[in-house]
Amino acid sequence: MKRTNEFVVRPRSKKDEELLRHLLDASAALWNEINYERRENYANPDADVWDISEYRGRYGGTLGASTVQQIERKNREAWRSFFALQEKGEANGKPGFWGSGDDRELRTYIRNTSYSVEWGEYSRLEILVGQDLKDEYGLGYHERLRLEVRGDPNWKEYDKQGRLELYHDEDSNEFRAFQPVTIDTSRLAQPLASEEAALDIGVNNLVACSTTTGQQYLYEGRDLFERFRETTREIARLQSKLDDQRRSSNRIDRLYRRRTRRRDHAQDALARDLVERLYDEGVETVYVGDLTDVLETSWSVQANEKTHNFWAFRRFINRLTHTAEEYGITVEVRSEAWTSQTCPNCGSADRTTRHRDTLTCECGFEGHADLVASKTFLRRHQNSERSDWRTRHAVSRQRQTDVARPMARPVCLKWDDHEWSELPRSHRPNEEHTNPKVASVVR
pLDDT in tens, 101-124: 777 889 999 999 999 999 988 899
Q: Chain-centre distance of CA 279, in angstroms?
A: 20
User: Do residue 321 and residue 204 come from a single domain?
Assistant: yes
Per-residue pLDDT averaged across 426-432, rounded?
Answer: 47
pLDDT level of residue 392 (50, 70, 90 thresholds) = very low
Longest alpha-carbon distance in the chain = 84
Residue 234 lies in a domain: no
* DSSP secondary structure of 25-86: HHHHHHHHHHHHHHHHHHH-TTS-TT-----HHHHHHHH-HHHHHHHHHHHHHHHHHHHHHH
Contact between residue 52 and residue 38 where contact means Cβ atoms under 8 Å apart? yes
User: Do residue 205 and residue 68 come from a single domain?
Assistant: no
Contact between residue 300 and residue 162 where contact means Cβ atoms under 8 Å apart? no
Residues of the domain holding 140: 2-186
Query: Which of 356-383 are b and which e, b meaning 16 or more Cβ less than 10 Å from the residue's Cβ?
Result: ebbbbbebbbbbbbbbbbbbbbbbbbbb
pLDDT level of residue 243 (50, 70, 90 thresholds) = confident
User: Do residue 89 and residue 7 come from a single domain?
Assistant: yes
Domain count, the chain: 2
Per-residue pLDDT averaged across 31-40, rounded?
Answer: 96
Model pTM greater than 0.85? Answer: no
User: Do residue 21 and residue 123 come from a single domain?
Assistant: yes
What DSSP state is assigned to residue 155? -
Q: Who wins on pLDDT, 434 or 284? A: 284
Neighbours of 329 (CB within 10 A): 22
d(CA 110, CA 127): 8
* DSSP secondary structure of 86-139: HHHT---S-------GGG---EEEE-GGGEEEE-STT-EEEE---HHHHHHHT-
Residue 335 predicted with pLDDT over 90: no
What DSSP state is assigned to residue 170? T
215: Cβ contacts below 8 Å, ≥ 6 apart = 277, 281, 407, 408, 411
User: Do residue 21 and residue 40 come from a single domain?
Assistant: yes
d(CA 294, CA 275): 24
pLDDT level of residue 308 (50, 70, 90 thresholds) = low
User: Do residue 97 and residue 201 come from a single domain?
Assistant: no
Residue 77 lies in a domain: yes
Per-residue pLDDT averaged across 252-257, rounded?
Answer: 85
Residue 150 lies in a domain: yes
Q: Give the pLDDT of residue 347.
A: 76
User: Do residue 210 and residue 126 come from a single domain?
Assistant: no
d(CA 199, CA 290): 10
Strand 145-150 versus strand 358-361 pairing type:
unpaired
User: Do residue 178 and residue 296 come from a single domain?
Assistant: no
Contact between residue 329 and residue 278 where contact means Cβ atoms under 8 Å apart? yes
Give the residue from 9, 271, 276, 268 showing the smallest Cα distance to 151: 9
User: Do residue 321 and residue 426 come from a single domain?
Assistant: yes
Query: Which of 103-128 are b and which e, b meaning 16 or more Cβ less than 10 Å from the residue's Cβ?
Result: ebbbbbbbbbebbebeeeeebebebb
Beta bridge partners of 286: 197, 331
Q: Give the pLDDT of residue 202.
A: 75
Q: Give the pLDDT of residue 409.
A: 84
Residue 233 lies in a domain: no
User: Do residue 30 and residue 157 come from a single domain?
Assistant: yes
Residue 214 lies in a domain: yes
Contact between residue 224 and residue 266 where contact means Cβ atoms under 8 Å apart? yes
Residue 254 lies in a domain: no
| Backbone phi and psi for residue 138, each to the nearest 5 degrees, phi listed first | 80, 30
Q: Give the pLDDT of residue 306.
A: 57
Give the residue from 227, 207, 177 showing the smallest Cα distance to 272: 207
d(CA 431, CA 428): 6
Give per-residue pLDDT as tens, 65-76. Answer: 999 999 999 999
Q: 392 burial class (0-12, 13-18, 19+ CB within 10 angstroms)?
A: middle
Residue 411 lies in a domain: yes
